[in-house]
Structure 1
């Protein structure tokens, strides 16, 4: 689902997806939103962005 959202295949507002440039990992990373509570930290966007950022370049593209 994150692949579809990031590539515009689903019509989901992506205002909370902020692309970042990093010298580590791949160049297609997103900023993980701040999660004050454990409940929000394990919700879709924070958890999925964290997992996606840890994938190798070949898996992301």
Structure 2
């Protein structure tokens, strides 16, 4: 049971971090950050950036 609870907690933390990253990427993009610089800073491929900026599709 402990392992399940720990896994659940870690998943929640990952989901929250992903949400914050996506919000930061969208905000930076709206403020004029270049795609190449944004991708490099976020550690994302062009396709992943497009997913986040477009429909807001989750990466995980």
More strand by share: 1
TM-score by length of 1: 0.25
TM-score by length of 2: 0.25
- Larger Cα-atom Rg: 2
More helix by share: 2
